[in-house]
Structure 1
Amino acid sequence: MRQIGIPEIEDIALGAALLGAGGGGDPYVGKLVAIGAVKEHGPVTLLEPEEVPDDALIVPIAMMGAPTVLCEKAVGGSEYKTLYDTVSGFFGKPIYAFMPMEAGGVNSMLPIAAAARLGLPLVDVDGMGRAFPELQMVTFTIGGGSATPMALVDEKGNSCIFKTITNKWTEELARAVTMACGGSVSVSLYPMEGAFMKRYGVHGIVTRSQNLGTAIRRMKEVADGTPEEEFFRFTGGHKLFRGKIGDVLREVRGGFNFGKVMLEGIYEYKGRQAYVEFQNENLTATVDGEILATTPDLICLVDTETFTPVPTDALKYGKRVLVVGLECFPLWRTPEGLALVGPRYFGVDTDYIPLEERCKGGRG
């Protein structure tokens, strides 16, 4: 158990933006929401998963929709109370704590804001260890958990609660309502007991995000080696490419940000070409026509000088970036995990090969 205040929020937002793999929304917007709540209501208590009673009701809080839309609409403060009342009323018991659903610039921050405003603790666990675009893409689905009852509320005060037959149906129906509400909403989903959370959650995600953020912020202070060497050492990442953004193809479709960023090689990659495709999150990284990484491994673009993560909605012509691969949570590499988030689910015509194996044979 420890406290999350404004300094911790700064680092959590930065580290979670890296783990967001390009998605999860603008970390600046999410950070402002969380800092505003903590300034008004005080710091948030962060619990280790093992500190939560097995029969306690734990509820993830998140936004659903296109991150670019959220940047324009933002989030108010009343949505969380509506979500709390809807879910606790459904179960007839109070919510013990909130938790993040995924890592990402916004969805790592909104649960902190909700916890601060409602005086609840936050649990150091999530359902992805990164970010994915569809709501059934969580480790809790692998464990047989249900996304519903799922509560949904927009900034105008419209709200509803879903009870569906499968988590994929939850995605389809909730996505339709999200589009009707303007492209982004606040949600609570996968309500669960503490015992289930402990068994199938990705433990320590908030702490890992904070540690990554602290390391990125202090990268220029390294005593031994170069900042780049320290970045790859600390993150355990694989360098896939270094380039300048030559073009960005982007569209919002069905509540998702789809696109492709084209990269022209610089320095040791001069004369070479690469591209990264995304659906909210980065899905594939291809260098000189050869795929070097695919989902569910994390593909992250970071600034070549500061190592600050660059989410898909902040990609701009001329920016110089490193393309970094991070190994995913082991449960995603199982057959059940790959059925949910493997490359073929997203229409990529390749089998999943672990990042570290592709990099051994590739020229990245």
Structure 2
Amino acid sequence: MRKIGIKEIEDIATGAALLGAGGGGDPYVGKLMAIGAVRDCGPVTLLDPDEVPDDALVVPIAMMGAPTVLAEKAVGGTEYQKLFDMVSNFFGKKIYAFMPIEAGGVNSMLPVAAAARMNMPMVDVDGMGRAFPELQMVTFTIGGVKSTPMALVDEKGNSCIFETITNKWTEELARSVTMSCGGSVSVSLYPMSGKQMKEFGVRGIVTRSERLGRAIRTVKDSGDQTPEEHFLEMTEGYKLFKGKISDVLRETRAGFNFGKAVLDGIGECKGHQACVEFQNENLAVVVDGEIMATTPDLICLVDTETFRPVTTDAMKYGKRVMAVGMKCFHLWRTEKGLELAGPRYFGLDTDYIPLEERCKGGI
């Protein structure tokens, strides 16, 4: 158990944006929500999963929608209490703690803001260890946990509770309502017991985000290493490509950001070209026609000078970035994990090959 204050929020937001693999919304927007809540209501208690009773009701809280919309249509202020009341009334017991459902700029911060406003603890665990675009893509689905009852509320006060036959159906129905509500809503889903959370959750995600954010903030204080070497060592990342963004094709469709970015090589990658495909999150990196990494491994773009994450909605012509690969949580490499979030699910014509094997030959 420890406290999360403004200093910790700064680092968590940066590190979570990196783990968001390009998605999860603008880290600046999420950070403002969390800092405002902590300033008004005080720091948040962060619990280790083992500190939560097995029979406690633990609920992830998040925003659903396209990241480009999240940046302009944030939380109105009454959503946290509404979600708390809807879920507590449904189960006839109060929620013990909130938790993030994924890492990402907004969805790592929303539970911090909600916990502060509601004077509740937050658990150091999530359901992805990264960010994914569809709500059934969580480790809890692999473990057989139902996504419903799922509470949904928009900033105008419209609300509903879903009960569905599969987690995929929850995604389909909730996405339709999200579009009707303007492309962005607040949700509470995968209500679970403390026991289920401990068994299937990705532990230590908030602490890992904070550690990564601190590494990025202090990347220039790297001693004998170059900042790039220090960054790759601290993140355990694989350098995939370094280039200047020469083209970005992006569209918001069905509540997702779809598109690709073209990178012209710079430095040691000069003369080569890479393409990064994304659906909210980065899905694949292809260099000179050769696939270097695919989902569910993390593909992150970072600024070549500051090493701060560049999200898919922040990609702009002329920006110099380094594409970095990071290993995903081990459950994503299982058969069930690849069915949920492997390359073929997203229409990529390739089987999953672990990042470390694809990168053996280099560029």
Range of TM-score over shorter length: over 0.9
Percent identity among equivalent residues? 78
Unmatched runs of 5 consecutive residues or more in structure 2: none
Cα drift, residue 75 of structure 1: 1.1
Does residue 99 of the first structure (1) align with residue 99 of the second (2)? yes
Cα drift, residue 73 of structure 1: 1.1
Contact kept in structure 2, 1:148 and 1:170, CA below 8 Å: yes
User: Aligned partners of 1:77, 1:52: CA distance in 2, in Å?
Assistant: 27
> What is the match of residue 336 of structure 2?
336
What TM-score does the superposition give when structure 1 sets the normalisation length?
Answer: 0.99
CA RMSD of aligned residues (A): 0.5
User: Aligned partners of 2:214, 2:107: CA distance in 1, in Å?
Assistant: 19
Q: Which amino acid is 1:11 matched to?
A: D
Does residue 132 of the first structure (1) align with residue 132 of the second (2)? yes
> What is the match of residue 5 of structure 1?
5
User: Aligned partners of 1:157, 1:172: CA distance in 2, in Å?
Assistant: 22
User: Aligned partners of 1:330, 1:71: CA distance in 2, in Å?
Assistant: 31
Aligned residues: 363
> What is the match of residue 319 of structure 1?
319
> What is the match of residue 241 of structure 2?
241
> What is the match of residue 46 of structure 1?
46
Unmatched runs of 5 consecutive residues or more in structure 1: none
Listed one character per residue, the Cα deviations across residues 208-259 of structure 1 (whole Å, up to 9, x for unaligned) are 0000000100001111211110001111000000000000000000000001
Listed one character per residue, the Cα deviations across residues 67-126 of structure 1 (whole Å, up to 9, x for unaligned) are 111111111221000000000000000000000000000000000000000000000000
> What is the match of residue 188 of structure 1?
188
User: Aligned partners of 1:173, 1:224: CA distance in 2, in Å?
Assistant: 53
Does residue 224 of the first structure (1) align with residue 224 of the second (2)? yes
> What is the match of residue 147 of structure 1?
147
> What is the match of residue 28 of structure 2?
28
User: Aligned partners of 2:118, 2:37: CA distance in 1, in Å?
Assistant: 10
Counterparts of 1:1-364 in structure 2 under 5 Å? 1-361=1-361, 363-364=362-363
Contact kept in structure 2, 1:77 and 1:117, CA below 8 Å: no
Q: Which amino acid is 1:336 matched to?
A: K
Q: Which amino acid is 1:165 matched to?
A: I
Q: Which amino acid is 1:55 matched to?
A: D
What TM-score does the superposition give when structure 2 sets the normalisation length?
Answer: 1.00
Contact kept in structure 2, 1:303 and 1:321, CA below 8 Å: yes
